[in-house]
Structure formats: C-alpha cells, structure tokens
Structure 1
C-alpha cells in the first residue's frame, strides 16, 4: 500500500480517525482523574563526612575519599537494614508503600534522597527517618564519620504525580494508531474488485475496456 492510498483510506474513514483517538483520550483522562491516586515526593539532602575529615582542615584527599564512598552510602540508603530500621522507628510494618530513590554525583559528596508515596505526611517522615538511620548504620560499619542532613524533608503541598496530561496524550496517540491499523486491516480484508488493477490481478488478463457509470436517465 502506497502512502497516497493510505491517505485516501484515512480520508474515507476520517470519522473513525477523529472519534477513536478522542474517545481513548477521554477514557484515559477520566480514569486517571477518578481512579489514579495522587502521589507525593519528599526530598532530603545529606553531606558525607569521612573519618579523616575535620571541618576546615579537610584536604583534597579527604574530599576524594568522600566522593568515593558516596556510591556506597547511596546503596546503603536502599538497603533492607536501613528501610527496616526506619520502618520500626516509625511504627510501620514496612516501607513497601513508598518508592525510594537516591541521586548522587561523582564530583560531590552530597546525596539526595527522594521518597514517593500516596501520603504527603508519610513521605516526609520516611525520608527524615531514613536519613537519620543511614547515618547510624554508616557509623556502625565504619563507612563514614557521619552523614549530616543539609535539608530536612518537608511535607509536599502539591502532588508529584501521576502526570495525567502525559497519560491522556499517549492514549490519544494510541487511539490514532489503532484507528489507522483498523482501517488498513479492513481494507486488506475487503475482497471486492475496486478498480482496473484489482480486476487484472484477479483474472490474470488485461482490461481492454470499461463502461463508465452513468447517473440519471438517458
């Protein structure tokens, strides 16, 4: 099928091409607003201090050491022991209702912890509890002298997700793709002879003449 033929098909079934994407977008938009719960994200940032560091006396060696253990501390934040201890301190069974992510850069000893969940108060409390617990665990395993909290997590006022606009746009594009696919399938399943080319291909003989369609009375 050529592009011109596809465009003709789309023009012929333009109602479906318009209506189906709109229906899909409206359905997804309604579902996202009615059934998808808002999620909230709280963030806290921490500063890693190695055992050999000493405030103003910290040198470039200490800085390099802090940067090297940043990945270890990031992994520690996502460990079971930190999550389990933080959940116990908050009188929770587990942190399975919360999504935890850690970000750190190789040129910095600052780590950012993000906690996402359905409860705005809960995500802030979990983030602060994990920040406090990771410092204790890091000192116990002699990973760092301390992990100091720079910014405590605050209760988020606005939801961070879901991105309902993106979901609606994706549903619209999916509906458009489905409409085109349906039109193409309908055309492929249509076995009627619709032109000279179809007749020649079906009969295997050339067409030597055509009787034009005449409208009205002669």
Structure 2
C-alpha cells in the first residue's frame, strides 16, 4: 500500500546543510534494482546470444586453415654425429627464415602460382612461426577456400626453398609435413561469439538497470524523505 507523506516544517531546521551531504550509493539497493529488471536482462541475453549465434553461423563466411612445416637440417661431421657449428648456424638462420619467407619476391611467385592478385593478398593469408628452441618453421594459410589454403601453404614453402637454393645456395631445408586438404572450418568460433554476444546483452541489461536506479530521484521510503529534506515525517496517509 502506498502512502502520501505530510512533513512538519520546523523553522529551526537548516535545510541548506543537506546539500553538503555526500551521496552514498547503497550496493544492496543497486542489486535490488538489477533484480527488479531481471526479466529484461535475461531477454537481452537471449536476444544478443541468438544474434551472435545466427550471425556467426550464417552471415560470416567460414575460414579454412592448412599448415606445413620445414626443418633446417644440421650437417653430419666425419664421426657421424651432428656438427655443432652447423647447429648454431641453423639456430641463427631460423629467425631470418621467418622474415625471408614473406618477402615480396617469394609472395609474388606464390600469387602467380595460386591465381591470386598480388603479393600483398597472399601475405594477408599466411603466418610464419618458429617453434621455440627448434629449427622448425611452420607456415599456416587461412582463406575461405580449403584448397586455396592448402595450395598457398605448400607453394610458399616450395618457392622459398627454390629461392634459397638459387640465391644463397642453402640446401639444408627439408619439408617436414606438407599441408593437407581439410574441409573442417577453423573459424569463426560459434561458441565464443555466442558467449561474447550474451555477455554484451548481460552488461547492457545491468547497465540499464543501474542507470535507471541512479537517475531515479523519487523518495520511496520515510527514511529517504527525512534524510533528503532534513525534516521529520509528521504522518503518513494511505494512497487508495
């Protein structure tokens, strides 16, 4: 039952002092405000989650990834063991290999072989990484066509090996594992996008509830009225 409140005006009260009081946000009241809008929050979570799911599933084209690896083989000395100097040279060379792999001369050849426009378009599709503490370099290609991804990865490696043999006479690079054709998409991640969209809906719902609470300047209780106005409540009349 709602009440109308009548306040007793006390001439000795100094209402101006009330303005100097600092506003304190009651976390319990904020929590209640959020619970009050729980249905809206749940609705926003469902709507945003569904939008994230169906948007990822039907509006974003799937990506396909193919990977291949090369290994810088060390030389064998006369005793049949690995040559230490050769190993150290390969360790230093592997960093340069990662950078040389994506140079324009290699990327241009790959673009011609796979039928892409230019070196830049190929470079956007691949990533070259080195497994830590190894002389293994991995080339990964990601496109919307699984066959194109496979062709880019394999052709990048073969073109690079030919270039190194021709220009620098480096002949200790071997292909460890060729890229294979796979029709299983590597992205986008439907579960991840759905969860992120659901979280956005939750944050927006909670933000709306908190904002409504902060902007609500109504006096809801007797205590709030007395604290804000600085005068005691004389009586309460039920509002029928």
In the TM superposition, residue 157 of structure 1 has moved relative to its aligned partner by: 2.8
In the TM superposition, residue 78 of structure 1 has moved relative to its aligned partner by: 2.1
Unaligned runs of 5+ in 2: 1-24
Does residue 205 of structure 2 align to residue 179 of structure 1? yes
Are the aligned partners of 1:86 and 1:126 in contact in 2 as well (CA < 8 Å)? yes
Equivalent in 25, 37, 40 of residue 49 of structure 2? 25
Under a length normalisation based on structure 1, what TM-score does the superposition of the two structures give?
A: 0.87
In the TM superposition, residue 12 of structure 1 has moved relative to its aligned partner by: 1.1
In the TM superposition, residue 199 of structure 1 has moved relative to its aligned partner by: 2.2
Are the aligned partners of 1:49 and 1:145 in contact in 2 as well (CA < 8 Å)? no
Q: Which residue of 2 aligns with 1:151?
A: 177
Does residue 205 of structure 2 align to residue 211 of structure 1? no
Comparing 149-158 with 95-104, which one deviates more in the overlay?
95-104
Q: Take 2:113 and 2:172, find their aligned partners in 1: how far apart are those partners? A: 19
1:207–1:143 distance in 2 versus 1, CA, 3 Å:
farther
Larger Rg, first or second structure (1 or 2)? 2
Q: Which residue of 2 aligns with 1:123?
A: 149
Are the aligned partners of 1:21 and 1:174 in contact in 2 as well (CA < 8 Å)? yes
1:124–1:214 distance in 2 versus 1, CA, 3 Å:
same
DSSP-derived class of the 2:195 partner: helix
Instruction: Give the number of equivalent residue pairs.
Output: 212
Instruction: Give the CA RMSD over aligned residues.
Output: 2.3
Does residue 101 of structure 2 align to residue 77 of structure 1? yes
- State the structure with bigger RCO (CA 8 A, min sep 6), 1 or 2: 2
Are the aligned partners of 1:24 and 1:171 in contact in 2 as well (CA < 8 Å)? yes
Q: Take 2:170 and 2:220, find their aligned partners in 1: how far apart are those partners? A: 78
Are the aligned partners of 1:37 and 1:118 in contact in 2 as well (CA < 8 Å)? yes
1:214–1:199 distance in 2 versus 1, CA, 3 Å:
closer
Are the aligned partners of 2:66 and 2:180 in contact in 1 as well (CA < 8 Å)? yes
Equivalent in 63, 75, 82 of residue 39 of structure 1? 63
In the TM superposition, residue 79 of structure 1 has moved relative to its aligned partner by: 2.1
Unaligned runs of 5+ in 1: none
1:86–1:33 distance in 2 versus 1, CA, 3 Å:
same
In the TM superposition, residue 110 of structure 1 has moved relative to its aligned partner by: 1.1
DSSP-derived class of the 2:175 partner: strand
Are the aligned partners of 1:73 and 1:138 in contact in 2 as well (CA < 8 Å)? no
Does residue 155 of structure 2 align to residue 132 of structure 1? no
